[in-house]
Amino acid sequence: MAALWHTAGRALHTDPMATEIERKFLLLDDGWRSAVIRSEHFVQGYLAADARTSIRVRVAGDAAWLNIKGVTLGVSRAEFEYAIPASDAHEMLALFCAERMLAKTRHFVPFGDHVWEIDEFEGRNAGLVVAEIELASVEEIFARPAWLGAEVSDDPRYYNSCLIEAPFDTWPEASQRGVAVYNSNTE
């Protein structure tokens, strides 16, 4: 059985190679809010991102990670994540990331046998809200909550590394239609 690393509320498989299996969806409404069990604010900056790999540093409260992720379309990709001192992460963000940062609040919402991660983006990506689910296999079947919308796992625009280069506020209005279908700032 694969060993698991629990980082930032997520489980990563580490044997024989780190693999993230994640599906990403838009939301139909804010019906998920009443089920949130906790929320974390993230700031992440990209040290490098190209057609094959992204390397980022992420800070959440007093914790921080260095993450190396393969850039491939679909739901499965190589991913390696390592805890680092928060002071180092803040320094890396300041020295190396400048305009290549994004901020979001991640809400954790249990449903069925999984905990969904709902990301509400800030800054130039404000208005974009997506739901992610981590799976043990590509074929895994999971319960779909009523608030779940269209799947966007194969759309690179929704990759965090792509939101640095093409933030949500630069998308043509037609592309935004159906994405932020509700005001995510209302309680």
SS3 label, residue 169: helix
- Nearby residues of 164 by Cβ (< 8 Å), 6 or more positions away: 46, 49, 100, 101, 102
To which residue do tokens 């640095």 refer? 164
Using an 8 Å Cβ cutoff, are 111 and 143 in contact?
yes
Backbone angles phi, psi at 181, to 5 degrees: -85, -5
Residue that is written with structure tokens 């629990």 in the block: 6
Minimal CA–CA distance to 159: which of 115, 128, 116, 134?
A: 128
Query: How far is residue 117's CA from residue 109's CA, in Å, rounded to a whole number?
Result: 6
Residue 82 annotated as catalytic: no
Contact 147, 43 (CB under 8 A): no
- Catalytic position from the list 46, 82, 158, 159: 46
Host H or E run for residue 26: strand 19-27
Report the catalytic residues: 46
